[in-house]
Amino acid sequence: MARGYWVTTYRSVSNPTALARYAERATPVILRNGGRILARGIPARCYEAAEAQRCVVIEFDSFDAAVAAYEDPAYQEIAVTLQGAAVREVRVMEGAA
């Protein structure tokens, strides 16, 4: 079974304090759902049309586990705290078996 991934890019962060609070609260929920944070932060290098935006890559044992973690009511309650504090894109992807 292919692994699942959250690939998140932050277009903008207008409230870094709220982002830090989100990360502090969301990380345990993500870990409890089987997520493993592989990378997070500002890219060391950007190529082509990429911008130096905050990125996060989280791995799960399966695509279904990644979707379930994102849809977990406990996670959704925390994710709401980013409204007005950050603009981000979250993609849930299936790994290339």
Which residue range(s) make up the domain with 79? 4-94
Residue 66, token pair as written in the block:
């990644």
Do residues 97 and 4 make contact, with C-beta atoms less than 8 angstroms apart? no
Q: pLDDT digits over 64-86, tens only?
A: 999 999 999 999 999 999 999 99
Instruction: Express as a percent the part of the chain with pLDDT over 90.
Output: 95
If one counts the domains in the chain, the total is 1
Residue 29: which CATH number? 3.30.70.100
At 61, give phi and psi (nearest 5°).
-65, -25
Global pTM reads 0.93
pLDDT, residue 1, reads 81
Quick one: CA torsion of 44, 18, 22, 37, rounded to 10 degrees? 10
